[in-house]
Amino acid sequence: MRANRLIAWNLALATWTAIVFSSPDLFAAQPTKAPSAKEQPTKTPPADDKNVTWKLAGREGDCAPLDILSKKGPAYSDIKSPTDLVEKLKANGHPAEMKEFKAGIRPAVEVRAPSAGIHVMFVRQEHCDKKLPAIDKK
């Protein structure tokens, strides 16, 4: 009986020593991982790029000019980018939010301001010429 207690005590001591003096990564839920080069952004985000010509995403993959925004008021006639629109909306007292969509063949930027009645998608000019993949109807 005494031998069993001695074995149990030695086992507990060995376990405690292994936990205390081992590396912290050994018992971590997930190992820490450095971001790969693919995950790191290599250029400025689409909404902040000043050298881009923007269009509004239209129906069925078409693009519309930004002049359409002037229908909401003369203050929106000089909009050139999603960032410009968000700044103008906030200056006019409308809470606006901007969300970037980078996946897919046509990255886009969504600007929403429900109080102003604006919910638009901005697309880069070079993506307007891309044809959307055809949907096979079966």
Spell 2-21 as b/e; 16+ CB within 10 A means b. Answer: eeeeeeeeeeeeeeeeeeee
Residues 61 and 134: beta-carbon distance below 8 Å: no
89 within some domain: yes
Range of the domain at 82: 46-128
106 within some domain: yes
Q: What is the pLDDT of residues 89-113, one digit of tens each?
A: 999 999 999 999 887 777 899 999 9
136 within some domain: no
Q: What is the pLDDT of residues 22-42, one digit of tens each?
A: 666 555 666 666 666 555 444
pLDDT of residue 39: 53
3 within some domain: no
63 within some domain: yes
115 within some domain: yes
58 within some domain: yes
The Cα angle at residue 99 between residues 109 and 122, in degrees rounded to 5: 15
Total structural domains in the chain?
Answer: 1
What are all long-range contacts of 65-71, with beta carbons under 8 Å and residues at least 24 apart? Answer: 69/118, 69/120
Higher per-residue confidence, 132 vs 59? 59
pLDDT of residue 91: 93
Q: What is the pTM of this model?
A: 0.59
pLDDT averaged over the chain? 78
pLDDT of residue 125: 87
